[in-house]
Chains A and B, each alone.
Chain A
Amino acid sequence: MKKAILSGNEAIARGFIEAGGKLAAAYPGTPSTEVLETLSCEEGIHAEWSVNEKVALEVAIGGALSGVRSLACMKHVGVNVAADPLMTASYTGVNAGLVLFAADDPGMFSSQNEQDTRHFARLGKMPCIEPSDSAEAKEYIKAAFDLSESFDTPVILRTTTRISHCKSVVEVGIAEPRAGRGLARDFGKYVMLPNNAKKRHVFVEDRLLRLKEWAETSPLNQVIDGDTSLGFITSGISFQYVREAFPKAAVLKLGMTFPLPEKLIRKFASSVTKLAVVEELDPFLEEQIKAMGITIHLGKNVLPLAGEFSQRLVQEKISGSALKVNEPVSGLLVRPPTFCPGCSHRGLYTVLSKLKLYVSGDIGCYTLGALPPFSAMHTCICMGASISAAHGTAKGLALQGTQQKPVAVIGDSTFLHSGITGLINMIYNNGDAIVIIMNNDTTGMTGGQEHAGTGRSAKGTEAPRLDIAKLCQAIGVTRVREIDAYNIKDLEKTMKEELAAPGPSVLISNQPCVLRYRVSKKAYVVEKETCKGCKLCLKAGCIALSFTPEGKTGFVEIDPLLCNGCGVCSQLCTSGAMKNS
Chain B
Amino acid sequence: MKTFNILISGVGGQGVLLTSKVIAEAALLSGLDVKQSEVHGMAQRGGSVLSQVRFGEKVFSPIVSEGEANLLIGFEPLETARYLHFLKDDGVVIYNTRPIGTIGVSIAAEKYPADINETIKARAKTVMPFDGTQLAVTAGDKRTLNLVLLGAALKFLPLKESAVLDAIKNTVPKKVLEINQRAFAAGRAQGK
Whether a CB of chain B sits under 8 angstroms from the CB of A317 is no
Best-surrounded residue of A4, A332, A333 (most CB of chain B within 10 A): A333
Would you call A332 and B81 a contact (CB within 8 A)? yes
Instruction: Tell me which residues across on chain B come within 8 A of A368, comparing CB atoms.
Output: 45
Instruction: Tell me which residues across on chain B come within 8 A of A539, comparing CB atoms.
Output: 107
Whether a CB of chain A sits under 8 angstroms from the CB of B63 is yes
- Partner-binding segment picked from A146-154, A323-331, A401-409, A424-432: A323-331
Instruction: Tell me which residues across on chain B come within 8 A of A459, comparing CB atoms.
Output: none
Would you call A543 and B46 a contact (CB within 8 A)? yes
- Partner-binding segment picked from A85-93, A165-173, A498-506: A165-173
Whether a CB of chain B sits under 8 angstroms from the CB of A310 is yes
Q: Which residue of B lies closest to A444 (CB)?
A: B45
Instruction: Tell me which residues across on chain A come within 8 A of B61, comparing CB atoms.
Output: 240-241, 243-244, 310-311
What are 25 sample pairs from A and B whose C-beta atoms fall under 8 A apart? A4-B28, A109-B43, A110-B41, A166-B35, A168-B34, A169-B33, A240-B61, A244-B61, A325-B66, A326-B87, A329-B85, A333-B104, A334-B48, A336-B102, A338-B47, A368-B45, A372-B103, A372-B109, A445-B41, A542-B106, A543-B101, A546-B105, A547-B108, A561-B142, A562-B100
A274 to chain B, nearest CB (A): 22
Q: Which residues of B contact A (CB under 8 A)?
A: 11-13, 21, 24-25, 28, 33-48, 59-63, 65-67, 78-79, 81-82, 84-85, 87, 100-110, 112-113, 119, 123, 133, 137, 142
Contact of B36 among A5, A324, A545, A559 (CB under 8 A): A5
Q: Which residues of A contact B (CB under 8 A)?
A: 3-5, 30-31, 33, 109-110, 133, 161-162, 165-169, 237, 240-241, 243-244, 247, 310-312, 323-329, 332-340, 365, 368, 371-373, 445-447, 515, 535, 538-539, 541-547, 559, 561-562
Would you call B47 and A240 a contact (CB within 8 A)? no
Contacts A326-B85, A337-B12; A332 near B113 (Cβ below 8 A): yes
Would you call A240 and B62 a contact (CB within 8 A)? yes
Q: How far is the CA of A312 from the CA of B63 in the complex (A)?
A: 10
What would 18 more interface pairs be, CB under 8 Å, given A30-B42, A110-B39, A335-B47?
A: A5-B28, A5-B34, A31-B41, A167-B34, A168-B59, A169-B33, A241-B60, A310-B65, A312-B65, A326-B84, A329-B81, A333-B113, A335-B78, A336-B47, A336-B103, A446-B41, A447-B41, A544-B106
Would you call A546 and B65 a contact (CB within 8 A)? no
Instruction: Tell me which residues across on chain A come within 8 A of B109, comparing CB atoms.
Output: 372-373
Contacts A240-B60, A326-B85, A335-B102; A311 near B65 (Cβ below 8 A): yes
B10 to chain A, nearest CB (A): 10
Contact of A168 among B25, B35, B105, B107 (CB under 8 A): B35
Would you call B13 and A332 a contact (CB within 8 A)? no
Q: How far is the CA of A165 from the CA of B44 in the complex (A)?
A: 14
Q: How far is the CA of A544 from the CA of B103 in the complex (A)?
A: 9
